[in-house]
């Protein structure tokens, strides 16, 4: 991958902060010019890593970039039906403002799609369209939370600390161990959810690539219902924000589970967030949505209308067409799943081989998303020039310099003591480039 390709992907990908890392020093010097919220937004660790990659690529190195939560369209093109649908809609004059809740045909299409694929019973009033999952998440935070309200979320996870910051909410992160697949359990959440206003869950999970099973999710949903039963009529409830942007990217026998299906009593409290971004390798098309109780959706649409975060009208028309076309979706996902499985499988088997050869490497079996979880226990190991490595940030830099392989420590996802776990994203690499990167990584670890 070239510098420019990786740079473009990295700046637009799953980073939490829009500002480049280099601006953070300047920002620190002049906090009085901007609001406290703006001044305290942290430069994303992923952007800092992207800057490192840029530097090396500028010096002529070819980097196997496993950092970006995005797709290289040459490896993972968006569905042809989506692309031609957008072109046709533009030609047909779909160029004006869409309604602030989204085009009626897309809201209907999302409701019908969820009915067919997830068994949910929704109407258009339960759906609000946005320009991707991010504005939907933002609107959910702003709709549910007042400043100071408590948000419970598991770590490692994607960007919840930043959304808390923006909403002025109080974060209550719950660290989840590898033994629980990096996902929360009812036992871990039992005490944190007391008095909280929002519980955020993400499955399949960015960064670990793991997913809830029915029992774990049902237990958590029952906890939400039980917590709400303790609240008086005048108290605001605990809502559950369920981010399922990777749900169509489950592999093999893995089945996605939804709160309202495993525990119907939780439905009045569930806000689901989703998008075409990951499921259809269409991160730049910017169509997402939230579903949930009609009153909450109305308020979220009000927030979005002021931000102007509507999905482009032509993209909405095309997405409505795509979501109604089960055959095209199934055909598309057949090849996309195979391409993901080949790449994540290559990472898992390379790690297995390294482990079998006595190297301090582990990995989780790939079951969903575009992310592989790899553990590198390199603390205290010596580099070629005799320097001992300390911590996963050090290991990350070593692998980048020595092997030209770029990966992200779970530290970047809110776990300070990450045990040497890293996220490897495969959306932007070809299989041969990945295989040669893995071989270089092995040589660097050996
Ligand atoms: C868990 C999760 N939710 C939401 C998003 C953002 O999706 P979108 O590009 O549709 O805003 C991402 C992007 O990486 C993600 O990983």
Mutate to test the pocket of ligand 1, among 161, 275, 414 (most ligand atoms within 8 A of CB): 275
Query: Quick check: CB of 243 below 6 Å from ligand 1?
Result: yes
* Ligand 1 midpoint to CA 288 (Å): 9
Q: What is the pLDDT of residue 50?
A: 84
Instruction: Give pLDDT tens digits for 141-165.
Output: 999 999 999 999 999 999 999 999 9
By the 8 A CB rule, do 315 and 322 touch?
A: no
Q: How confident is the model at residue 28 (pLDDT cuts 50, 70, 90)?
A: low
Instruction: Give pLDDT tens digits for 279-337.
Output: 999 999 999 999 999 999 999 999 999 999 999 999 999 999 999 999 999 999 999 99
Q: How confident is the model at residue 63 (pLDDT cuts 50, 70, 90)?
A: very high
Q: Minimum mean pLDDT among 26-30, 209-213, 263-267, 426-430: which range? A: 26-30
* Ligand 1 midpoint to CA 59 (Å): 31
Q: What is the pLDDT of residue 125?
A: 98
Q: Which architecture, in CATH terms, is 3-77+330-445?
A: Alpha-Beta Complex (3.90)
> DSSP of 398-434, one letter per residue?
HHHHHH-EE-EEGGGGT-SS-TTEEEEE-TT--HHHH
User: Which has the closest alpha carbon to 75: 385, 340, 439?
Assistant: 340
The average confidence (pLDDT) of the chain is 92
Which tokens in the block code for residue 66? 């496993």
Which tokens in the block code for residue 115? 């009915």
101, containing H or E segment: none
Query: Quick check: CB of 7 below 6 Å from ligand 1?
Result: no
Q: Whose CA is nearest to atom 16 of ligand 1?
A: 206
Neighbours of 387 (CB within 10 A): 11
Indicate the angle between helix axes 80-91 and 313-323, nearest 10 degrees: 140
User: Which has the closest alpha carbon to 351: 341, 339, 337, 365?
Assistant: 365
Q: What is the pLDDT of residue 13?
A: 55
Q: What is the pLDDT of residue 20?
A: 39
Q: How confident is the model at residue 29 (pLDDT cuts 50, 70, 90)?
A: low
Query: Quick check: CB of 288 below 6 Å from ligand 1?
Result: yes
Q: Is the pLDDT of residue 132 over 70?
A: yes
Ligand 1 atom at shortest distance from the alpha carbon of 288:
10
Neighbours of 349 (CB within 10 A): 12
> DSSP of 135-201, one letter per residue?
HHHHHHHHHH--TT-EEEEEES-SSHHHHHHHHT-EEEEEE--GGGTT---HHHHTTTTTT-SEEEE
Which tokens in the block code for residue 213? 């099973």
Query: Quick check: CB of 160 below 6 Å from ligand 1?
Result: no
Residue-range domain boundaries for the chain = 3-77+330-445, 94-324
Which tokens in the block code for residue 143? 């709709």
Q: What is the pLDDT of residue 6?
A: 35
Per CATH, domain 94-324 is 3.30.450.40:
no
Percent of the chain at pLDDT above 70? 93
By the 8 A CB rule, do 263 and 225 touch?
A: yes
Ligand 1 atom at shortest distance from the alpha carbon of 13:
14
Q: Is the pLDDT of residue 18 over 60?
A: no
By the 8 A CB rule, do 269 and 254 touch?
A: no
Distance (Å, rounded) from C-alpha 224 to C-alpha 186?
9
Q: Is 301 helix (H, G, I), strand (E, B) or coil?
A: helix
Mean pLDDT score, 242-267: 98
Q: Is the pLDDT of residue 114 over 90?
A: yes
In the sheet that 239-243 helps form, which strands lie side by side, from edge to edge?
A: 127-130, 288-291, 270-275, 239-243, 198-202, 150-155, 170-175
Q: What is the pLDDT of residue 14?
A: 61
Q: Is the pLDDT of residue 115 over 80?
A: yes
Q: Please give the torsion angle defined by the CA atoms of residues 188, 425, 337 and 345, in that order, rounded to the nearest 10 degrees.
A: -90
* Ligand 1 midpoint to CA 379 (Å): 32
Q: What is the pLDDT of residue 22?
A: 44
* Ligand 1 midpoint to CA 283 (Å): 9
* Ligand 1 midpoint to CA 134 (Å): 6
Q: Is the pLDDT of residue 44 over 80?
A: no
Q: Is the pLDDT of residue 237 over 90?
A: yes
Q: Is the pLDDT of residue 35 over 80?
A: yes
Phi first, then psi, for residue 51 (nearest 5°) are -65, -40
Q: How confident is the model at residue 30 (pLDDT cuts 50, 70, 90)?
A: low
């Amino acid at each position: 991958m070239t510098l420019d390709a990786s740079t473009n992907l990295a700046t637009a990908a799953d980073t939490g902060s829009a500002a480049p890392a280099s601006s953070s020093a300047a920002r620190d010097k002049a906090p009085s010019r901007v609001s406290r919220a703006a001044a305290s937004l942290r430069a994303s660790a992923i952007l800092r890593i992207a800057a490192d990659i840029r530097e090396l690529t500028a010096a002529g190195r070819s980097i196997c970039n496993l950092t970006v939560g995005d797709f290289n369209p040459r490896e993972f093109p968006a569905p042809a039906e989506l692309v031609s649908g957008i072109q046709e809609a533009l030609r047909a004059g779909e160029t004006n403002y869409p309604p602030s809740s989204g085009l009626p045909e897309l809201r209907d299409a999302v409701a019908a799609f969820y009915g067919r694929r997830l068994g949910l019973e929704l109407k258009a009033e339960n759906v609000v369209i946005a320009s991707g999952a991010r504005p939907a998440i933002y609107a959910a935070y702003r709709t549910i939370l007042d400043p100071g309200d408590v948000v419970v979320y598991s770590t490692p996870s994607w960007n919840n600390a930043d959304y808390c910051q923006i909403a002025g909410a109080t974060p209550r992160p719950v660290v989840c161990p590898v033994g629980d697949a990096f996902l929360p359990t009812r036992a871990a959440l039992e005490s944190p959810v007391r008095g909280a206003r929002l519980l955020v869950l993400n499955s399949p999970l960015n960064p670990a690539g793991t997913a809830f099973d029915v029992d774990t999710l049902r237990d958590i949903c029952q906890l939400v219902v039980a917590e709400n039963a303790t609240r008086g009529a005048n108290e605001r409830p605990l809502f559950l924000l369920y981010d399922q942007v990777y749900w169509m990217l489950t592999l093999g026998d893995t089945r996605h589970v939804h709160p309202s299906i495993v525990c119907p009593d939780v439905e009045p409290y569930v806000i689901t967030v989703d998008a075409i971004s990951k499921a259809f390798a269409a991160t730049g098309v910017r169509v997402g949505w939230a579903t949930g109780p009609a009153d909450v959706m109305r308020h979220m649409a009000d927030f979005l209308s002021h931000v102007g975060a509507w999905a482009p009208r032509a993209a909405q028309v095309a997405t409505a067409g795509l979501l109604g076309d089960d055959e095209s979706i199934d055909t598309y996902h057949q090849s996309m799943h195979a391409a993901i499985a080949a790449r994540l499988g290559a990472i898992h088997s390379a790690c297995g081989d390294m482990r079998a050869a006595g190297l301090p490497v582990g990995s989780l079996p790939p079951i969903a998303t575009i992310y592989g979880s790899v553990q590198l226990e390199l603390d205290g190991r010596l580099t070629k020039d005799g320097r001992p490595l300390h911590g996963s940030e050090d290991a990350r830099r070593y692998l980048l310099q020595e092997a030209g392989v770029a990966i992200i420590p779970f530290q970047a996802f809110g776990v300070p003591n990450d045990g040497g776990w890293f996220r490897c994203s495969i959306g932007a690499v070809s299989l041969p480039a990945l295989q040669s990167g893995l071989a270089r990584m092995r040589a660097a670890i050996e």
